[in-house]
Amino acid sequence: MLGKGRGSSYEELDEESEGDSRFGVNKRALYEPSGMVDRVRRVIVSPKRACCIAIIVFLCILSIALIAAFSRPFVCCACKENVDSEPDSLVGQQQGNDSQSSLSSNGTSSVVTPPTATNGEPFPWTSVRLPDFVVPLSYSISLHPNLTTFVNKGTVNVTFTLKEPQKFIVLHVKELELSNFHLETGNTVVGVRKTLIYVKYEQLYIEFDNILGENVPYSLSIDFKGNLSEKLEGFYLSSYRTSAGETRYLATTHFEPTYARLAFPCFDEPSLKATFRVSIIREGRHISLFNMPIAQTKKLSDNLYVDYYNDTVMMSTYLVAFIVSDHLNVTAVTANNVTVSVYSPAEQLHQAAFALEVATSVLDFYDSFFGIPYPLPKQDLVAIPDFGAGAMENWGLTTYRETAILTDSNETSVGKIQQVALTITHELAHQWFGDLVTMSWWNDLWLNEGFASFVENLGTDHVRPEWNMMDQFVLSKTQPALQLDSLASSHPISVKVDNPSDIESIFDTISYSKGAAIIYMLESFLGKTTLQRGLKTYLNTYKYKNAKTEDLWRVLSLESHNMNVSLDVEAIMDTWTQQMGFPLVTIERKGNVVTAKQQRFLVGSSAEEDGVSSEFYSKYGYKWHIPLTYTTDKSSKPKLVWLNLGDAEFKVSSDVKWIKFNTNQTGFYRVMYSERDWRNLIEALKTDHTVFTAVDRASLLDDAFTLARNNLLDSTIPLEMAGYLTNETAYVPWITALECFMEMEMTLKERKSLRNLIEYFQRLLLPIVSEVGWKDQGTHLQRLLRPSILFIASHYGDEEVIDEALKRFREWKTNNVRCDEA
């Protein structure tokens, strides 16, 4: 989900639209292209400048503190002003009276003011979560979004039952005008005694005249009215301009995580699944779209029509979507007879062909991979002009920012084309992992996003096997996650969240990229077949339901036993999901005995401080179950040793010269070797770097430069290792190396040694600059590598590259000659 204002470029990260929610900004970054050129645009602050900034900030804070101290008004200690407080201590309590008692720190009883409704009355329900005794069954929603007045009017009729007799229910609602509350069961009408709204928790409390019975279906009807705002959340207004300059409007939705309540009153929690039936009134010049196909269309007047849609399957509110627009579409059918359509404005429809090809192909692949046919009759992919994030996995109606789905074969770069494919395969993976089976609550968000972020690579690899997506996986997922998770400000993958603001904050690199990386690690020690069989069992067991992380681990453990692997997956993976950070594995070799020791890798703090300074206490003491893999110069077949919350010792052949640990960087950890072993690895790289896979070469560079940057390894080791790059042509090692070069440059900024470092980098770059050239040709990975190499060469002052770039730019500007053809 990539949130930008109208007309904005996909790459313009420095100009956020006013409508961008924090959620959109967080998730948007996860869908942005991660090429070298994009990643090196960062702020570099010298030590002197940083010192000056720190001094200025300190003086400002001191001045503010002094002003506050001397200007504070006199307050009589004996007096207390009654404040309408909304204390966090109320969260989790059940229905109470108009006031509640609690114990103060000295043991005396004090009165806590309950939440206050908009009419000034106490709001009886005090938990941010909805009551667990309500079971929604179905929604019937009628909508009339007016694209002239920008107002949406509608009615929702929700059928529910209760697990126990109650006199009230609580729903979610936000920024809607409500009227005409009506409850009935069978032919009996139940009077509505009171309705209250609590803005902070976005809740609607409805109290009835009579006690509602257990397991009895009730039907609640509410009329509502709301504005089609430009917030990029809920049911909102978007627009685009035609080539003739005409502005055209559309109404579209974005409900994840907690925005369905902006569109209609509902039980807006992922575990409260129900079926949905929708009807939409529209003008004749528009079409409407919903999660399901249209059942029928009726004409209301000369220019008004109403579309009635088929009922959905059981699904969560955040996956509901509806759109009214004038988009056109291209359509194809999968091998399993699912209709796939890509919608866009008419003038951009020619850019939808690639998206249609990817979507059609990957749906068939996922049918086979998950072992469950896609459960809906159609899949629509819609290009939205204004979208707060890159894409959204609404079931059967996925939505995308225009630049995340549309491509022009003559203009779109190979990096952008690859990102479009990854975005589509990510959202379509969610149709199973997230939509068919949904996390019970947002603390298991990573279960949805981590798996989709892993499977997107498998899906794209199926569509374009020559792209080598699993090699690129370490660049897009593992290495960025390692960098972020080494900070004390990181967080565990699975974290407790309640408030909407907390939910939004966990849509980040940890949930997506680290989640994907540890699933890649899981696949490496379980095996592809075991993982795939386990996923099939998991999806079949919990389809149309909700699940928790431990449910998946339980299924995979059983599957491993069936495959004679016998691993306690839950015990292993809990050490990776319930504590932040990752281990540094230190290798010591004496003769043929190898000792592997683990400790947390934490930037800026010592290992002894791990469990003290962090806000996240770890019951595991920051120790992990580590699947330590390795290859040697005697055997390229990976071997596995387990470090189970401690260290390990094992033997290798006495004639082994070098050992490379963390094969293909499938493990989420770093490795520190002895100086002798580093030297042996460097010698092997310089003698014949192809004895290591491209990913292993990249992981050696990544570990060595990172450890040196954190003063755990002498800088001569990574710099000497980098010398082999004069013979390197592969994409993954080079992109890793360029990242490392930039990080080291930042570290040495304004130091005398920087000039020597840059000259060394220039020498390393000469052969690859000559190799890639300027023509946009070669394999996909060669075409991806070319702009990064030429950019970094110009960055380091290669005069030939700079002169050639300027010449080609002038040719394009003067004679309209493409830069790769000049």
Query: What DSSP designation does 406 have?
Result: -
Question: Which residues are paired to 635 by β-bridges?
Answer: 632
User: Which residue, 502, 507, 395, is CA-closest to 446?
Assistant: 507
**Annotated catalytic residue within 427, 449, 504, 728:** 427
250 membership: H or E segment, kind and range: strand 247-254
Question: What is the token pair recorded at 716?
Answer: 């001569």
Question: What is the token pair recorded at 496?
Answer: 């407790």
Question: Which residues are paired to 266 by β-bridges?
Answer: 172
Cα angle for residues 161, 184, 265 (degrees, 5° grid): 65
User: What residue type is assigned to position 564 of the chain?
Assistant: N
Using a 10 angstrom Cβ sphere, with 0-12 exposed, 13-18 middle and 19 or more buried, the burial of residue 232 is buried
Give the start-end residues of each E strand in 118-233: 134-146, 151-162, 166-172, 177-185, 188-190, 192-198, 203-212, 218-227
**Distance of alpha carbon 445 from alpha carbon 27, whole angstroms:** 12
**Distance of alpha carbon 643 from alpha carbon 627, whole angstroms:** 7
Checking DSSP bridges between strand 275-283 and strand 304-309, what pairing results, if any?
A: antiparallel
**Distance of alpha carbon 417 from alpha carbon 409, whole angstroms:** 9
Residue keyed to tokens 């592997």: 596
Q: Establish whether 16 is a catalytic residue.
A: no
Residue keyed to tokens 């009551």: 131
DSSP labels for 385-427? Answer: SS-EESEE--TTEEEEEGGGT---TTTS-HHHHHHHHHHHHHH
Which positions ≥6 away from 110 have C-beta within 8 Å? 101, 102, 103, 104
Question: What is the token pair recorded at 393?
Answer: 């996995």
Question: What is the token pair recorded at 97?
Answer: 């009276």
Question: What is the token pair recorded at 450?
Answer: 């981590």
Which positions ≥6 away from 358 have C-beta within 8 Å? 420, 421, 424, 425, 460, 463
- Output the furthest CA–CA distance in the chain (Å, rounded): 89
The number of residues making up the chain comes to 822
Ramachandran assignment for 140, one of left (phi > 0), alpha (psi -120 to 50 degrees), beta (any other): beta
User: Which residue, 68, 53, 131, is CA-closest to 94?
Assistant: 131
Catalytic sites, residue numbers: 427
